[in-house]
Structure 1
Amino acid sequence: MPQHVDKDLLRQQFQRAAVSYEKQAVVQQQAAERLLELLIQQPQRVLEIGCGSGLLTRRLLAKFNSIEELVLNDLVPDFASRLGLVSPALRFLPGDIETLPLPGSFDLIISSSALHWLHDLNSLLDKLAAHLAPGGWLAFSLYGPENLHEIRELTGIGLKYRSHAELEEALRRRFRLLHSSRQIETLHFSSPQEVLRHLRETGVNSLSRSPWSRAKLEQFCAEYRRRFSADGGVTLTYDSLYFLAQNAD
């Protein structure tokens, strides 16, 4: 059944995965690059939600020399010190974006592979609309209903992902929708154990605190191989959604 996100657990799991994240986060790196390809304006004041290890942050700073202030938000407070970035434009805003007050208005609000963790995306969109400058852009990627379906089908554990159509409708109610696309990608791993390691090292195993018994792990691996084998290994699906919207006010 779909899970309600425990943000304390989410914070802990991403903190543990900080060292291994970028090595494993192949899909997340691609998402950051595709998101930036949508942007053509030169923003001066930018808010990034869920900066994590800086996959998107570094690309933002490299692409736009117009940035005067880049406000970086993440649920994990010490990610700021791990970024290794030195720029007078950077300002850190740690904490839960759903409850934090936002400082002023922005030409660009951007987020890559993060907003599917929210409790109430509609409320956040209202909040972001209020802090987006006239003509400003909102750009984000997140995951859709087919994401990690292998794990959900075998364990019953998974997020309640919003559909592409639901997200388009939510954006059109608040903004002018400029771009909407979907990309389903299949990763291949040598074994179910490697799938679990990939999830752990990207912080994605953030929905359950209960450890597995040896018997449960063996059962999971056997069933995973039976149902999702391909090319001598097993598959794992990512369902990436991309959006670009503009404040029409």
Structure 2
Amino acid sequence: MNIDLEFSKYAHTYAKHNIIQEQVSDELISLVKYKPKKILDLGCGRGALASRIDWDIEFFIGVDFAKNMLELHPKSKQIECIYGDFDNPELYEHLFLYDFDYILSASALQWARDLDGVFAHIAKLHYQDFAFAIFTSKTFETIHKTAGITSPLRSSDEVLEDAKRYFTCKHHINHYKLEFEDTMAMFRYIKQSGVSGNRGILSYKEIKELIRTYPLDYLEFEVLFLYS
């Protein structure tokens, strides 16, 4: 699945349709224990975390594999945006040259093809602290149950098991609900947010049936926060 193309396609509407991701970014920044000067943001998108940093920094490196997202990221002499895939080992050869105070990632690492491998690469970087927010399998839980499909996301237990192989970390899980006036508005949100819940798994006929039978007036989200 071309996740990078999907996020690029909806780059200009992403902020408008991502209320939950904004809340996740607020929570993640609240977990940062001090005002770090040297920051890495993996899956930086259009700059949700960079825009929340209101203190002086030496540098901020943002990595993302959606070019259109990077074009919308805040720019300054202290900010470097890198077009790269956190599943690609070559990315870490470049990042290994830096000393980071904090490594951050909000609403991105759930799309890693090999999360265990990504954690292994991150753990080898030079850093002091970290904070990650990762969407897990109870996101869109009722959609998946109603449609009879499996979530494309890992469970919180699976992510935590991978993380504990490489990090000594604290964690907590937040659950969010986002209400809608009708089911059609709900499914438009899923599409325009850049994070499609079905990713081609369902046929057009099956999607129509899901819209008709979905029993709730809200979407569910589950986010695992991992932090030092």
Is the counterpart of residue 175 in structure 1 residue 167 in structure 2?
A: yes
1:46 Cα offset (Å): 1.2
Does the 8 Å CA contact 1:13/1:206 hold for their aligned counterparts? no
Matches of 1:115 and 1:77 in 2, distance apart? 17
1:132 Cα offset (Å): 3.0
What letter matches 1:192 in structure 2?
Answer: T
Question: In 2 relative to 1, CA 211–173 (structure 1 residues): closer, same or farther, beyond 3 Å?
Answer: closer
1:59 Cα offset (Å): 0.6
Matches of 2:37 and 2:9 in 1, distance apart? 33
What letter matches 2:104 in structure 1?
Answer: I
Deviation per CA, 1:8-49: give whole Å up to 9, x if none: x21121112111111111110000000111112232221101
Does the 8 Å CA contact 1:142/1:240 hold for their aligned counterparts? yes
Is the counterpart of residue 198 in structure 1 residue 192 in structure 2?
A: no
SS of the equivalent of 1:203 reads: coil
Greater RCO, 1 or 2 (C-alpha within 8 Å, sep 6+) = 1
Does the 8 Å CA contact 1:77/1:95 hold for their aligned counterparts? no
Match of 2:51 in 1: 58
SS of the equivalent of 1:27 reads: helix
1:211 Cα offset (Å): 8.0
Matches of 2:191 and 2:10 in 1, distance apart? 7
How high is the sequence identity, in percent, across the aligned residues? Answer: 23
Does the 8 Å CA contact 2:140/2:197 hold for their aligned counterparts? no
Q: After TM superposition, what 4+ stretches of structure 1 lie above 6 angstroms from structure 2?
A: none
Is the counterpart of residue 86 in structure 1 residue 69 in structure 2?
A: no
Matches of 1:125 and 1:162 in 2, distance apart? 16
Matches of 1:235 and 1:75 in 2, distance apart? 30
Matches of 1:126 and 1:211 in 2, distance apart? 34
Matches of 1:160 and 1:217 in 2, distance apart? 19
Matches of 1:81 and 1:187 in 2, distance apart? 28
1:176 Cα offset (Å): 2.3
CA RMSD of aligned residues (A): 2.0
Q: How many residues align?
A: 222
More strand by share: 1
Does the 8 Å CA contact 1:199/1:205 hold for their aligned counterparts? yes
What letter matches 1:25 in structure 2?
Answer: N
Deviation per CA, 1:86-145: give whole Å up to 9, x if none: 311111111211102332232211000111101111111111111133xx1111101122
Gaps in structure 1 of 5+ consecutive residues: 1-5
Deviation per CA, 1:204-243: give whole Å up to 9, x if none: 1175347843x4443222211xxx23xxxx1210011111
SS of the equivalent of 1:30 reads: helix
Gaps in structure 2 of 5+ consecutive residues: none
What letter matches 1:162 in structure 2?
Answer: S
Deviation per CA, 1:161-193: give whole Å up to 9, x if none: 232x4433433332221x311111121112221
Match of 1:95 in 2: 84
